[in-house]
A and B are shown apart, each in its own frame.
Chain A
């Protein structure tokens, strides 16, 4: 019988395919006494061999899809499987204690896991997870249980899982994975962002996908409306095929605008740029006609790793992005770590209020040995394109000045070393802490540009954690308080002849776009897939008309009034 699940459309598009449950199998180990120990040893060898060949595949895939870097962890996993101390300890157990291979594996693995977990260094403690991961794989072969790994999928499917971790998504192959549905997550969760950059439809936050959808069931994902149809009838499938064709046709219409400028109905140009996390994301930026990169989140270079990325590694990544953008502007945000984004190898202290704590520029100014190599890498890359650098989480003018001074200091050093550096690098800052929006006039005199980070600006202004369901209603992008701050920043910048961009989900939102256009925003940076819809929308809007509503909108009492007003005026 057909069932419908509602969730959040994280990535638009429609797909009909088979459900593929990605879940942790139960791996129960019993102790058994074995007489034929030689056979047991053979069984163990066989399981190790199978695990090794599986890991080789995963490693190769990670290498070709994500680079050497992300594949390194699998090289370490492979070494665990041929570690003489590990293997011999298991074999000795089987031979001497006459126990089954599963039990020997579990005992030995636990011994190592305990040893790592007892170490006083966070990084080492986390290595226990690597041993667990590897052990699970061998154990599943011994028990004859199939362990599902997204990298092993080789037919067209839709993945159903509670959530997708970064390492799961790292293994997804677009050729086979046609979409996914998760129980948890929202539009800005990791899996949703991944889906948009892979351009596959996804519905997240369904709460009950894993308890409702069986492996192999036929399902439809409607990423436009955030719906999942389970076991649809022929009729419904046909209906969605029609909808899919219409959506594809719409996409073709959008595609016609790929090489067009973004100009409003009354002839005003604004820049539509994209947010990216890795150099690979540039494909999508170019395919969707991005006029620049408005936010390059450099954290991804630092995450999912075992140590800081080297200056050289960073240089290569920045150079690649700048070269591929061929002179179009690329705004790079320096390391924004801390808060919810942790790096195990830095051993950052746990905090009561991580979002109000030691993060981003605050961390970088204290840890110049981390900050300076990034700045050097950026400066060295600057000659390969149109680089702009911005600092995250600036609260005071002193912070901006200090960060800028370090940047200029590194520039001087490079010049002394005879390394070329561009002289046209604009230096700007994120406006995400309300203090900087309020004092925008003072900041505007010293920066080359502002980029408004709405996700944080909204949560700091409303004092509400957007991940907390109880208070997420306070996450109101259209609230007059937020719009007033945005307007203030734009006015202050324009008075000084500086430009203002916005990065964050709000910049590509169909309700926010007309408001922001009217307020005079210069650059809109969004997910690559939002660019063409936004360009289509802006071509129909008159900037002058929208500007004339400004005072009326800013004087409104509630976000709902603003939304109702815009809907009426725009449609």
Chain B
């Protein structure tokens, strides 16, 4: 299992467009991917899950990945966050 914390720097928080990109980044991986914010944990493969967190600017979110491709998935996800200007 790997874990990583991200601070959301996008002014608009995680809106539909970045959420779409994050879900697309993990949709087909073997590992289970979760995001935790405000003590609520959701499946990151679920667009409605991630949207329902209502993540705003400055939020600290935790991503937990466990499975055979966990390291690779975390790397890809970090890159997607960066490319979208969501987190550094």
Contacts and interface: CB of A to CB of B under 8 A. Distances in A.
A193 interface: no
Nearest to B56: A121
Interface string B19-56: 11001100100000000000000110111110110101
B16 A76 contact: yes
B27 A82 contact: yes
**Residue from A80, A127, A369 having most chain B Cβ neighbours under 10 A:** A127
A84 B52 CA distance: 14
A85 interface: yes
Interface in A346-388: 369
A307 B56 CA distance: 13
A369 B11 CA distance: 10
A345 B12 CA distance: 8
B19 A76 contact: yes
A79 B24 CA distance: 8
Given A124-B54, A307-B15, A112 B48 contact: yes
Given A124-B51, A308-B12, A72 B17 contact: yes
Contacts of B45: 83-84
A116 B47 contact: no
Interface string A320-355: 000000000000000000000000010000000000
Interface of A is mostly: helix
Interface string A107-131: 0000010011001110110010011
A240 interface: no
B43 A84 contact: yes
A345 B11 CA distance: 11
Interface in A67-108: 72-73, 75-76, 79-80, 82-86
A306 interface: yes
Nearest to A119: B54
Nearest to B21: A75
B87 to A, nearest CB: 16
Given A84-B43, A84-B45, A85-B48, A79 B20 contact: yes
Contacts of B16: 72-73, 76, 127, 130, 306
Contacts of A73: 16
Nearest to A82: B27
Interface residues of B, number: 21
Contacts of A80: 47-48
Contacts of B19: 76
A78 to B, nearest CB: 9
A115 B43 CA distance: 16
A408 B52 CA distance: 42
Contacts of A72: 16-17, 20
Given A79-B24, A119-B54, A121-B54, A85 B17 contact: no
Interface residues of A, number: 27
Nearest to A86: B48
Contacts of A84: 43, 45-46
A307 B12 CA distance: 7
Contact of A307 (B17, B27, B49, B52): B17
Nearest to A87: B46
B12 A76 contact: no
A80 B27 CA distance: 12
A478 B17 CA distance: 47
B29 to A, nearest CB: 12
B8 to A, nearest CB: 13
A73 B20 CA distance: 9
Contact of B17 (A76, A83, A86, A112): A76
**Residue from A79, A119, A121, A308 having most chain B Cβ neighbours under 10 A:** A79
Contacts of A124: 51, 54
A76 B47 contact: yes
Contacts of B27: 79, 82
Contacts of B11: 308, 369
A130 B12 CA distance: 18
Nearest to B10: A307
A253 B51 CA distance: 56
Nearest to A81: B47
B52 A116 contact: yes
A58 B62 CA distance: 35
A495 to B, nearest CB: 45
**Residue from B20, B23, B51 having most chain A Cβ neighbours under 10 A:** B51
A308 B52 CA distance: 21
A343 to B, nearest CB: 11
B65 to A, nearest CB: 15
A306 B46 CA distance: 19
A112 B49 CA distance: 9
Contacts of A308: 11-12
Contact of B15 (A86, A120, A306): A306
Nearest to B24: A79
A79 B12 contact: no
B31 to A, nearest CB: 13
A94 B64 CA distance: 30
A231 B48 CA distance: 48
B81 to A, nearest CB: 16
Contacts of B48: 80, 83, 85-86, 112, 131
B15 A123 contact: yes
Given A80-B47, A83-B49, 12 more contacts: A72-B16, A72-B20, A79-B20, A84-B46, A116-B51, A120-B54, A124-B51, A124-B54, A127-B16, A127-B51, A306-B16, A369-B11
Interface of A: 72-73, 75-76, 79-80, 82-86, 112, 115-116, 119-121, 123-124, 127, 130-131, 306-308, 345, 369
Q: Which 7 interchain pairs have the tightest Cβ spacing?
A: A85-B46, A79-B47, A307-B12, A76-B16, A306-B15, A306-B16, A83-B46
9 contacts: A72-B16, A73-B16, A76-B47, A79-B23, A83-B49, A84-B43, A124-B54, A131-B48, A308-B12
